[in-house]
Amino acid sequence: MNKNAGARPQQSILLPSTIIKNKWKVQGKIGQGSFGEIYAVIDLHTSEDLAVKVERLDDKKMVLKQEVIVIKQLQCMNMIKYFNNTYEACHNVIRYVHSGRQEHFNFLIMERLGDNLAELRKQCPGQVFSMCTSLRLGIQMIEALEGIHKLGFIHRDVKPSNFVMGPKNNTKKRNKAFLIDFGLARKFRLPSGEIRPPRKNAGFRGTARYASINSHHKRELGRADDIWSVFYAVVEFLKGSLPWMKMKDKDQIGQVKERETNPELVKDLPPEFLTFLE
């Protein structure tokens, strides 16, 4: 008998109308990340629409602290580049507003963006993006990753649902994809600037459908593994599916992925996809 049978689903962390730090009012739940929940909030002082990501203080694995570290460093790097007139990187990362702790939860306030790429693809005819859209999004995904790689972090959970479009009412941002959810991000450089020595068994990290083959083998991940995840995502954008899409077991997915990551996977796609494989 399943010991969890009949167990009540865990209640949401926040209720509508909850006030955070006397400044942000919760409007409703809008999503669920790999770790934690996401709510729409409004700034009671400025009326700005924002989002908050929260995690319980009694969660076995709390990752919001790491996410805050990465986002704040990215924002700091953007400001330095702006004042040095070299403002060319990290445009595609969500804007940090505030973070802290209240009662039974940690929280991260950030800008509120639009739908994620997984949702948007499913809304398209045939559940595919056009070639132009797929390539444009792929470039933006890589540009966002370039920003965190320059900081010495790898994301380790690159997937369409972790990229969201800018708000529809913002003409500068609505056609841009933003990287979110840095809960699994990890430093790959030491303070000296050298690459961290790989662990013998790093465990599986990521989402099985898009994870690199290295992740399935529990190897230490690097920047290339983030890019492999972009590759699988863009193939899915164009074809509507991946050969292992309906599988649940990550070990089985890894076996099929090793077998199917070959020229047949990119058949009828531009030759650059085959070049990437080779």
Residue corresponding to tokens 């699994």: 184
Identified catalytic residue from 157, 181, 225, 226: 157
Kindly provide the residue ranges of all beta strands, DSSP E only, lying in 113-211, ordered along the sequence: 153-154, 163-165, 177-179, 186-187
In this prediction, residue 171 carries a pLDDT of: 85
Highest CATH level, class, for 117-277: mainly alpha
Residues 237 and 133 sit within 8 Å (Cβ to Cβ): yes
Q: How far apart are CA 171 and CA 219, in angstroms?
A: 42
Q: Which ranges of 84-151 does DSSP label H, i.e. alpha helix? A: 117-122, 131-150
**Superfamily per CATH, domain 19-111:** Phosphorylase Kinase; domain 1 (3.30.200.20)
Angle between helices 131-150 and 223-239 (to 10 degrees): 170
pTM over cut 0.85: yes
Hey, what amino acid is at 46?
A: T
Q: How far apart are CA 164 and CA 262, in angstroms?
A: 29
β-bridge partners, 20: 24
Mention every residue, 6+ apart, whose C-beta is less than 8 A from residue 62.
35, 55, 106
157 is catalytic: yes
53 marked as binding residue: yes
pLDDT, one tens digit for every residue, the chain (278 residues): 444 444 445 689 999 999 999 999 999 999 886 678 999 999 999 999 999 999 999 887 888 998 998 888 888 776 655 555 544 445 688 889 999 999 999 999 999 999 999 999 999 999 999 999 999 999 999 999 998 898 899 999 999 999 999 988 888 888 999 999 998 999 999 888 899 999 999 999 999 999 999 999 999 999 999 999 999 999 999 999 999 999 999 999 999 999 999 999 999 999 999 999 98
Q: How far apart are CA 132 and CA 173, in angstroms?
A: 18
H or E element, residue 276: helix 271-277
Q: Which of 74, 73, 78, 63 is nearest to 33 (CA)?
A: 63
Q: β-strands 19-20, 24-32: how paired?
A: antiparallel
Residue intervals in the chain for CATH 3.30.200.20: 19-111
Residue 95 carries which DSSP code? P
Residue intervals in the chain for CATH 1.10.510.10: 117-277
